[in-house]
Structure 1
Amino acid sequence: MSADVADLKRNAETLRDLHRGEMLVLPNVWDAASAKVVAEAGFPAVATASAAISAMLGHPDGEGAPWQEMFAAAGRVARAVSVPVTVDAEAGYGMQPRELVDRLLDIGAVGCNLEDTDHRTGGLREPGEHAQWLADVRSAASDAGVPIVINARVDAFLPGSGIPESERVAEAVRRGRLYRDAGADCIYPIGVRDRSAIATVVAELAIPVNGNSSEHLDLRTLRELGVARVSYGPRFYREALAGLKAAVQELPA
């Protein structure tokens, strides 16, 4: 472990505490430069976006990039800032829990997103099996002496989940409870666009919930609904590329 355990533990505790106060807003980053922009703007933590990093590296999202490249990029993010960093680790890249924890700590990360999509099949993992894996990650973090903040992503609302639309809220709550009881610190029902759906998840889980800001759910609305953490995924990466495209198209070829 390259970073000091005491510093990592302190950062992990800080990141966890940030989920319990004012709503934690995380404009997701993809490299050292974007991480510095976010930290210098005063945000108390930095989160990576796997889709943005994968695209930057020339690979598709959904564990399409080699984990070595993803972790190297996330490590550069962590070294660029002094605030806690949480990494979008997708579905864990097939790693055993202790290996995943060790590699996160090696790059200086103190939090991670872990999703329940099975990228081999395209569907969702069996929830009990995934909950046990999350419990093993929690146990591995405890053994390492750093209480890594686990943001357990529930993918029931995604179109490829195979969950009928009428059953998605109930399935998200069912999975969220299992992941909460397994030791997750926050539940992330990605893709929720409906106010009543996110309100139900927040009320039923009684644990910090990660929402997505969108045209349907702005920050004020999410705060009113009790959402504890808000992330943006690859939005700002795509907006940066759109700005670059618009600028270069004005230049003579």
Structure 2
Amino acid sequence: MNQEQKAERFQALHQGPLFVIPNPWDAGSARLLAGFGFKALATTSAGLAFALGRRDGEGSVSRDEALRNAADIIAATDLPVSADLENGYGDTPEAAAETTRLAAEVGLVGSSIEDATGNAADPIYDFILSVERIAAAAEAAHARAFPFTFVARAENFLHGRNDLDDTIRRLQAYEKAGADVLFAPGLPNLEAIRTVCASVTKPVNVVLGAKNTPYSLADLAAAGVRRVSTGSSFARAALTGLRDASLELLGPGTATYLDDAISFAEVTALMAPKR
């Protein structure tokens, strides 16, 4: 498929029913996820930072590195790929627009911009600036010759600002500014998710990332969610396997981790080049 065909397929997925978009962190994990049957992929800023041996959320990964990672994932499969582009790698509306333009140029068919500043002392952009940034990015996204799906993220709950009213106010403003999909990571419960979905008309994404998540995909679909992403959770699950296997060898010296490990043959088959 060419980029336009992928973009059209990606746009159609958002019309329902709920679909899962997992977040690979490199070409290999992208091929595995495509082989398992997922219909689209999205990059993960945290997963990439961890793969590079860096901390997430501190500006440790550059825009060029993020876009290179996205290009590697695009090249690995025939699936539509969207990208987590953090705050657009700059504070201004112009930076958000330029990052979105560059995202489309590397072959992505969607991307997200968040309203988190990356500054712990002042973690969320002012409301007016936030809306201006989303509007600029949406304009850049919709200037493409194909339907580039632009996601706007309201980050209050990830930064200790547990204000559902302000989060909804922001999401509604981002929708009016041109966002195609809306996303408020860290919502505290299913009722809050249901309220957000009922407060906007564009598709809502929910990320699976917290321990003891009490709701299923069916619960989320019933609440009105259209898209579910995995964020850094798949990368962390892979690192959990590495940690547990390492501690077993360094501790009791056994190798029971091999009993449940994916086989060499299965991995090799999943790594076959895309057709």
Q: TM-score, normalised by structure 1?
A: 0.89
2:135 aligns with: 135
1:33 aligns with: 28
Distance 1:152 1:141 in 2: 12
Give yes or no for the alignment of 1:24 onto 2:22: no
1:226 aligns with: 224
Q: Is the CA contact (8 Å cut-off) linking 1:16 and 1:185 kept in structure 2? A: no
Q: Is the CA contact (8 Å cut-off) linking 1:128 and 1:178 kept in structure 2? A: no
Q: Is the CA contact (8 Å cut-off) linking 1:35 and 1:81 kept in structure 2? A: yes
Residues 128-183 of structure 1, C-alpha deviations (whole Å, 9 max, x = no match): 2222222222222333323321111111212x25x3x3xx2111110001000111
Q: Is the CA contact (8 Å cut-off) linking 2:18 and 2:225 kept in structure 1? A: yes
1:48–1:122 CA distance, 2 compared to 1 (3 A): farther
- Count of residue correspondences: 243
Letter in 1 for 2:221: R
Letter in 2 for 1:119: G
Give yes or no for the alignment of 1:198 onto 2:186: no
Distance 2:67 2:110 in 1: 13
Say which SS state the counterpart of residue 251 (structure 1) adopts: helix
Distance 1:236 1:144 in 2: 31
1:83 aligns with: 79
Distance 1:144 1:103 in 2: 11
Distance 2:100 2:112 in 1: 12
1:156 aligns with: 156
- Aligned counterpart for 1:43 among listed residues 21, 38, 44: 38
Runs of 5+ in structure 2 lacking a partner?
A: 254-275
Distance 2:62 2:96 in 1: 18
Distance 1:187 1:144 in 2: 20
Distance 2:191 2:105 in 1: 40
Residues 76-116 of structure 1, C-alpha deviations (whole Å, 9 max, x = no match): 01110101000000000016344213321232111112111
Say which SS state the counterpart of residue 92 (structure 1) adopts: coil
Give me the identity figure in percent.
Answer: 34
Structure 1 residue 245, shift from structure 2 partner:
1.9
Q: Is the CA contact (8 Å cut-off) linking 1:46 and 1:83 kept in structure 2? A: yes
RMSD: 1.9
1:179 aligns with: 174
Q: Which has the larger radius of gyration?
A: 2
Say which SS state the counterpart of residue 131 (structure 1) adopts: helix
